[in-house]
Structure 1
Amino acid sequence: MTVTAGPDTALDAAAVPLRWVGPLRISGNVTTTETEVPLATYESPLWPSVGRGAKISRLTEDGIRATLVDERMTRSVLVEAADAGAAYEAARAVHARMDELRVVTRRSSRFAELLALRHEVTGPLLFLRFEFSTGDASGHNMATLAADALLAHLLATVPGISYGSISANYCTDKKATAVNGILGRGKNVIAEILVPRQMVAERLHTTAAAIARLNTHKNLVGTLLAGGIRSANAHFANMLLAFYLATGQDAANIVEGSQGITLVEDRDGDLYFSCTLPNLIVGSVGNGKGLDFVDANLRRLGCQEDRPVGDNARRLAVLAAATVLCGELSLLAAQTNPGELMKAHTRFERTPLERPGPERHNGDSDAH
């Protein structure tokens, strides 16, 4: 993988090691598939760790079940009024114009559709949060373009308001907040797997009870004590960043993307393991997708096929969620055994990284 910022950029300074891991077996309401996934990272233990989870997915009957439950991109704008009463009346007037606002949205893009509108009034300030469908794009620019047109229309048609900002932080973009998990931003995907008792013992070297106990104590109680915001997981960000870099995504979106919940249950010795990712912001088209290595990776993932609008991005989202589950499962299993985590890091991180290439990990390693 090589990213070049300009003619004076040194290739060595712009290269991130990338390997294909898997394949992962996935089923669900978006796709049923078995595919390898690309991970671009300097943290070399991540490849065998995700590989171990991928191997588990291939050994179970249904593999990883990935369910997409919602999708939308948001942009909030700010307008100002004389006082709270005027701001509230303006909010009512805006909601009454939803039909015309949908028309204005469609004029801004072939793919943008206005799904919903929410508001908050704080003193004389009126925050408007527009929610859009954006096809196969992650939708940042599409949503902002539509919001710009909507804001101009409202300033011209709603009395008593003036311009505040085209971006009002109630979206919320690339910040750790609660609103995205509550109202939705990006793709909301739940990945889950049921691992038989014998496989937990033989492949993960632990028990369902031990992983469930660790998840409660570490991910739930530990995160609560740390003051986490709608998030209780071990390391979603690791897998997401590696996947985002390999597929041309805006990497800063791991801030909200890594806000998610790992839920584990001991079901009579079998292990139920799920990762809920409510803020996955991914796209199969748009900025960053024109690079040769990104285009090749997306094609290999089956995310540039001739499908109905939005389906390629949905496939990409469930592949990302399944990848997160593989790495999360492997890490938590490792952390139930004293010394295993550090042993894996020492083994892999003290070996110099090879130059980026087509190598892959087949998931047979027992490293975390």
Structure 2
Amino acid sequence: MNSQPTLTKPAAAHIPTRWVGPLRVSGNVATTEIEVPLATYESPLWPAVGRGAQVSRMVESGITATLVDERMTRSVLVEADTAEIAHTAARAVHGRLDELRVITRATSRFAELLSVREEIAGSLLFLRFEFSTGDASGHNMTTLAADALLGHLLEYVPGIRYGSISANYCTDKKATAINGILGRGKNVITEILIPERIVTGRLHTTAARIAKLNTDKNLVGTLLAGGIRSANAHYANMLLAFYLATGQDAANIVEGSQGVTLAEDRDGDLYFSCTLPNLIVGTVGNGKGLDFIEETLTALGCREERTAGDNARRLAVLAAATVLCGELSLLAAQTNPGELMKAHTRLERLAGGHHAH
């Protein structure tokens, strides 16, 4: 007789969460000064983002966050007998864009087909559908639309047959070049110009040292490591904590953490920017029905009566601004020997943790 161990479920499991800030943000989506929630077991992340947030409040315009593009993608695979037939089919797909847009609208009142891109490998035709999805992150909405589009194309485009409803050319939850180049989700650029007195007084370093470290570590170091469309220190840390606290699909930090940090010494002042082309966030849909998520999104101002998509755009720029705060603080710390480890040791000993970068 096999005896099975008895598993006891905890009454409740909570990731430690704190509100950090406030952050001062301006730009083409939101101008606000607001605290942000971070759910993490890495306790030094809270004061790190907090220091960046304090710097943002010391600069009149704070962090300027510019949303430059948004689109959610789903790719499908169809098969043909030859590359020539696949190419002819691809041209036929582009000739049917108007009817494909009508079909897309029938699947959801918020889905709009923006464009279709293709790639042919041998006799395989990969189609990458790009949609706008309102306030939803769009995982289910785009799959539903893609399924309807694929069925229509299989019926009306000669020479092709079903391959897969998901073809890895989207690309979902994987670090790829195509997402970095074409974008998936919200593409947000955050930037701040920090006066020299604040760089030295609050960050305890200089613009020149941060700029040099960013080049040596984030750019050259990532190049040597073979990074894909990415050059940053730790975007994933802030994104995971923000995603968990706001009901997002946390696995999307894989592509979300692709991004580029730039730092320039401008006569002693520090220009610092973070470009995030793959922020996949939503304010409606799966994960948003929990009471604490509802309260969090309300506190972030993402439950207001706005044009469809505006609440999700607001959430995206707040996520991007949070990333800048943590990235700035970490790079500043790493310009000083021993500072990062001392902070980790002190803060995690207080929290009872034993993590390190």
Cα distance between partner residues in 2 of 1:160 and 1:216: 50
Q: Judge conservation of contact 2:74–2:146 (CA < 8 Å) in 1.
A: yes
Q: Judge conservation of contact 1:120–1:126 (CA < 8 Å) in 2.
A: yes
Partner SS state of residue 199, structure 1: helix
For 2:327, the equivalent position in structure 1 comes to: 328
For 1:180, the equivalent position in structure 2 comes to: 179
Query: Does 1:301 find its partner at 2:300?
Result: yes
CA-to-aligned-CA distance 1:58-96 (integer Å, 9 cap, x gap): 010100000000000000000000110000000011110
Q: Judge conservation of contact 2:255–2:278 (CA < 8 Å) in 1.
A: yes
Partner SS state of residue 247, structure 2: coil
CA-to-aligned-CA distance 1:246-270 (integer Å, 9 cap, x gap): 0000000000000000000000000
Q: Judge conservation of contact 2:25–2:31 (CA < 8 Å) in 1.
A: yes
Partner SS state of residue 223, structure 1: helix
Q: Judge conservation of contact 2:72–2:133 (CA < 8 Å) in 1.
A: yes
Matches within 5 A, 1:31-50: 31-50=30-49
Cα distance between partner residues in 2 of 1:267 and 1:87: 52
For 2:90, the equivalent position in structure 1 comes to: 91
How many residue pairs were aligned? 347
For 1:77, the equivalent position in structure 2 comes to: 76
Q: Aligned partner of 1:33: which letter?
A: T
For 1:270, the equivalent position in structure 2 comes to: 269
Q: Aligned partner of 2:321: which letter?
A: A
Cα distance between partner residues in 2 of 1:196 and 1:297: 33
Query: Does 1:54 find its partner at 2:53?
Result: yes
Q: Judge conservation of contact 1:26–1:62 (CA < 8 Å) in 2.
A: yes
For 2:5, the equivalent position in structure 1 comes to: none
For 1:20, the equivalent position in structure 2 comes to: 19
**What root-mean-square deviation, in Å, do the aligned CA atoms of Structure 1 and Structure 2 show?**
1.1
For 1:352, the equivalent position in structure 2 comes to: 351
Cα distance between partner residues in 2 of 1:111 and 1:350: 48
CA-to-aligned-CA distance 1:184-218 (integer Å, 9 cap, x gap): 11000000000000010000000000000000000
For 2:119, the equivalent position in structure 1 comes to: 120
TM-score by length of 2: 0.96
Query: Does 1:227 find its partner at 2:226?
Result: yes
Cα distance between partner residues in 1 of 2:101 and 2:45: 44
Cα distance between partner residues in 1 of 2:90 and 2:118: 7
Q: Judge conservation of contact 1:246–1:294 (CA < 8 Å) in 2.
A: yes
Q: What runs of 5+ residues in structure 1 fail to find an aligned partner?
A: 1-7, 355-367
Q: Judge conservation of contact 2:247–2:293 (CA < 8 Å) in 1.
A: yes
Q: Aligned partner of 1:138: which letter?
A: S
Runs of 4+ in 1 over 4 A off after TM superposition: none
Matches within 5 A, 1:95-244: 95-244=94-243
Shift of 1:9: 4.3
Q: Judge conservation of contact 1:17–1:353 (CA < 8 Å) in 2.
A: no
Partner SS state of residue 271, structure 1: strand
Cα distance between partner residues in 2 of 1:224 and 1:121: 29
Cα distance between partner residues in 2 of 1:227 and 1:308: 41
CA-to-aligned-CA distance 1:292-315 (integer Å, 9 cap, x gap): 111100000000100000000000
Shift of 1:352: 3.1
Cα distance between partner residues in 2 of 1:348 and 1:337: 18
CA-to-aligned-CA distance 1:32-77 (integer Å, 9 cap, x gap): 0000000000000000000000000001010000000000000000
For 1:255, the equivalent position in structure 2 comes to: 254
Cα distance between partner residues in 2 of 1:78 and 1:202: 56
Cα distance between partner residues in 2 of 1:348 and 1:297: 25
For 1:3, the equivalent position in structure 2 comes to: none
Query: Does 1:10 find its partner at 2:6?
Result: no
Cα distance between partner residues in 1 of 2:185 and 2:160: 30
Q: CA separation of 1:155/1:9 partners in 2, compared to 1, >3 Å: closer, same or farther?
A: farther
Shift of 1:353: 5.6
Partner SS state of residue 350, structure 1: helix
Q: Judge conservation of contact 1:65–1:191 (CA < 8 Å) in 2.
A: yes
Q: Judge conservation of contact 1:44–1:353 (CA < 8 Å) in 2.
A: no
Q: CA separation of 1:194/1:252 partners in 2, compared to 1, >3 Å: closer, same or farther?
A: same
Shift of 1:11: 3.6
CA-to-aligned-CA distance 1:225-247 (integer Å, 9 cap, x gap): 00000000000000000000000
Q: What runs of 5+ residues in structure 2 fail to find an aligned partner?
A: 1-7
TM-score by length of 1: 0.93
RCO greater where, 1 or 2, for CA within 8 Å and sep 6 or more? 1
Q: Aligned partner of 1:93: which letter?
A: A
Q: Judge conservation of contact 2:38–2:242 (CA < 8 Å) in 1.
A: yes
Cα distance between partner residues in 1 of 2:207 and 2:299: 34
Shift of 1:15: 1.2
Cα distance between partner residues in 2 of 1:219 and 1:184: 21
Partner SS state of residue 351, structure 2: coil
Partner SS state of residue 204, structure 1: coil
